[in-house]
Structure 1
Amino acid sequence: MQPLCNSDELAEGASRGFGQGGRSLLLVRREGLVFAYRNRCPHRGIPLEWQADQFLDVSASLIQCATHGALFLIESGECVAGPCAGERLEALPCREQDGSIWVEV
């Protein structure tokens, strides 16, 4: 695992994108927990955001693909609406320790 950022750089209800080890990643904090995914829509294999660090829908309750509107559960990465319904984002193991967020790339 590698440190990706300081814990205080990811606020509650926020998302952020990162490049690490040649991969594009995204982090989301929800209810105090951090979730990490590869930044790649399973439908077309393209990045999810339309603007830097903008991975969530307007309610900040789902991850949204800006290109096709697919919606993914934050906790599992499962697509619940859109052209890739039933598929999942690629989850990455992560943990928060000693004031940092660590992700296995």
Structure 2
Amino acid sequence: MHFLCRPEQLSEGQSRGFSVDDLGIFAVRRAGTVYLYRNYCPHRGIPLNWEPDAFLDSSASLIACGRHGALFLIESGECVAGPCEGEQLTALGCREDSQGIWLID
């Protein structure tokens, strides 16, 4: 397991990027649950964010690719709009406890 951050460092409706062993990943908290994905757009194979920790659309209800406008469901990583519609982000194992948010490998 790899420690990512303390629970209070990822607020409801926010996203945050991390690098673990040169792998770009990001976490999103929605309805109290943390979702963890590889920071890799299936359309072009590039990072999703255009600014640090900016992985959500303006309503914070979808994950957004800042480069091509693809939109993904937070709960599943499925692309619902954009050039990679029907494809999915790579979900990663995640655990949260009182000490932190963890990447499970």
TM-score after normalising by structure 1: 0.97
Task: Provide the C-alpha distance between the structure 1 equivalents of 2:70 and 2:99, rounded to a whole number of angstroms.
Answer: 33
Query: What is the number of equivalent residue pairs in this alignment?
Result: 105
Taking the aligned partners of 1:98 and 1:53, their CA distance within structure 2 comes to: 22
Identity %: 61
**Letter aligned with residue 14 of structure 1:** Q
Note the C-alpha offset of 1:22: 1.3
8 Å CA contact 2:2–2:20 kept in 1: the answer is: no
User: 1:21, CA displacement in angstroms?
Assistant: 1.4
Q: Please, what is the CA RMSD of the aligned residues?
A: 0.8
Structure 2, gaps ≥5 residues long: none
Q: CA deviation at 1:23?
A: 0.2
Contact 1:8–1:99 (CA<8 Å) still a contact in 2?
Answer: no
* Mapped partners of 1:99, 1:31: distance in 2: 19
Shift in Å, 1:97? 1.2
Deviating beyond 6 angstroms after TM superposition, the runs of 4 or more aligned structure 1 residues are none
Specify the alignment match of 1:75 in structure 2. Answer: 75
- Which residue does the alignment assign to 1:26? 26
Alpha carbons 2:95, 2:104 under 8 Å: kept: no
* Partner in structure 1 of residue 17 of structure 2: 17
Give the distance between the partners of 2:104 and 2:44, measured in 1 at CA.
24
> C-alpha distance in 2, partners of 1:2/1:18?
11
Counterpart of 1:17, as a letter, is G
